[in-house]
Amino acid sequence: MGVTGHVTDAEPRLAEIDRLVNSHTLHGSESLCKLLRYLADQAIRHPGVALKEYQIATEVFGRPSDFDPQLDSLVRVQAGRLRSKISEYYSSEGTDDPIVVELPKGTYALAFHPATASTKTIVREMHEKEEEKGTSQSIRSSRAVLILSILLTIAVISIAALLAGRITGNGSPKVDESAPAAYRVFWHSFIAGPDAPWVIFSNGAFIGRPETGLRYFNPARDSRDAISDHYTGVGEVLAVYDLNQVFAQLRRQIRVKRGSLFSLDDAQNNNLIFVGSPAENLSLLDIPSTHHFVFQRATSGPRKGDLAIVNVDPRPDEPKMFFASPSGTPLIEDYAIVGLVPGMNSARSVLILAGTTTIGTQAAAEFVCRQDSLQQLLLRLSVSDNGEMKPFEAVLHVKVARGVPVGTQLVALREVAR
């Protein structure tokens, strides 16, 4: 088994593809079977190589050399149909198969996972959610618009709760007693204990006041006595809101504290969720953090001084550094880290949700607070039959439009030893 839990032998993978192709679910779907075999062959022969729509259109569906994916959605439509059929297969005929095949959204790279009880539960829920696609797609497509209109309301509610010192799920709407399996698996270590986890949000050190101008604290010329440490970003506020909503579904509470009030006693005795990068959430500098993907400022080159995510041990198809849009230009993309690492006390867990900007931080929180993205993540992780999950570090690529994250894709992943 590889580091991300993928099956590594070609023979069992091909046997699983044969089972899919010969299944009742795909019976009569010649074009989908052809696409499935092609994607499987590419995944086995050229792992980690990204497939392009043009390549699939011309080599699988016989489109001419002037094929334009911007004008013809054939590949996207067929991939969506295949994705639905695969989910349907594993919720019915393929429940006892030793391997689960997945076509993650946003990519044409087929993935193979060893089947566990947790994996099968997640796949079943993915299929059930696919059946409600019309409603869920409408909700997702309107999210970017709605979030702009409700931003002020959310911020006021969340900040008021922050000032009170904590947020609980007591005022949240009633939900079903049984939370989605993806939530129960991913958040297991944070809800298993008797104490609510601490959510530590970043609050950068600023000098000045909003009405006269704010800037970051400069130790070379500013007195520490002049620091104002009670500001945070929009992304951090919305991240806390999303976390509160998830824990309400899990019938649990969270406790909230700003980074400047965090202590090592908190780290020793509690599960922790850090919201924001160590550039502003300085508490992350004092505790165990990520090792494969780390935040650093570029020391040379055209992006000198800009905050980046450094890929410490890049794989052949991965970049050494992940940068957001250049400073001084509209923010259209960002990168974020989602890291689940052991705490200072080995019995505790630390979750890090941090972007190079506040929008990336918001996207990281949304990623672990949405059922569909959590399901995709869990299928790429090693999850035992009893639902235990290994620590991991992941990098997300975030598309941004008008200050709102509108698309998030998992681009790098490492599992780590506890």
Query: Has residue 124 been placed in a domain?
Result: no
How many domains, in total, are found in the chain?
A: 2
Q: Tell me which residue has tokens 């040379």.
A: 300
Contacts of 173 (CB under 8 A, 6+ apart): 248
311 bridge partner residues:
293
Residues 330 and 185 in one domain: yes
Residues 175 and 84 in one domain: no
Residues 149 and 287 in one domain: yes
Query: Has residue 311 been placed in a domain?
Result: yes
Query: Has residue 1 been placed in a domain?
Result: no
**How far apart are alpha carbons 85 and 79 in whole angstroms?**
10
Residues 147 and 223 in one domain: yes
Query: Has residue 396 been placed in a domain?
Result: yes
Contact at 8 Å (CB) between 229 and 206?
Answer: yes
**How far apart are alpha carbons 286 and 362 in whole angstroms?**
23
Residues 393 and 291 in one domain: yes
- Can you give the pLDDT at residue 148? 39
- Can you give the pLDDT at residue 238? 94
- Can you give the pLDDT at residue 124? 59
**Quick one: three-class SS letters along the chain?**
CCCCCCCCCHHHHHHHHHHHHCCCCCCCCHHHHHHHHHHHHHHHHCCCCCCCHHHHHHHCCCCCCCCCCCCCCHHHHHHHHHHHHHHHHHCCCCCCCCEEEECCCCCCCCEEEECCHHHHHHHHHHHHHHHCHHHHHHHHHHHHHHHHHHHHHHHHHHHHHHHHCEECCCCCCCCCCCCCHHHHHHCHHHHCCCCCCEEEECCCCEEEECCCEEEECCCCCCCHHHEECCCCCHHHHHHHHHHHHHHHHCCCCEEEEEHHHCCHHHHHHCCEEEECCCCCCHHHHHCCCCCCEEEEECCCCCCCCCEEEEECCCCCCCCCEEECCCCCCCCCEEEEEEEEEECCCCCCEEEEEEECCHHHHHHHHHHHHCHHHHHHHHCCCCECCCCCECCEEEEEEEEEECCEEEEEEEEEEEECCC
Residues 232 and 298 in one domain: yes
Residues 105 and 167 in one domain: no
Residues 165 and 280 in one domain: yes
Query: Has residue 138 been placed in a domain?
Result: no
Residues 225 and 97 in one domain: no
- Can you give the pLDDT at residue 230? 76
- Of the candidates 115, 135, 169, which is a domain's last residue? 115
Task: Express each pLDDT in 306-361 by its tens digit.
Answer: 999 999 999 988 999 999 999 889 999 999 999 999 888 878 899 999 999 999 99
Q: In what order do the strands lie in the sheet with 321-323?
A: 293-297, 307-311, 321-323
Question: What are the structure tokens assigned to 43, written together?
Answer: 């995944």
Give residue 66's domain range: 10-115
Query: Has residue 132 been placed in a domain?
Result: no
Exposed, middle or buried: residue 255 (CB in 10 Å: 0-12, 13-18, 19+)? middle
Residues 103 and 22 in one domain: yes
- Can you give the pLDDT at residue 376? 85
Query: Has residue 2 been placed in a domain?
Result: no
Residues of the chain under the 50 pLDDT cut: 1-7, 134-136, 138-142, 144-176
142 bridge partner residues:
none
Residues 94 and 158 in one domain: no
- Of the candidates 115, 134, 166, which is a domain's last residue? 115
Query: Has residue 64 been placed in a domain?
Result: yes
Contact at 8 Å (CB) between 335 and 396?
Answer: yes
Residues 320 and 204 in one domain: yes
**How far apart are alpha carbons 28 and 31 in whole angstroms?**
9
Contact at 8 Å (CB) between 358 and 348?
Answer: no
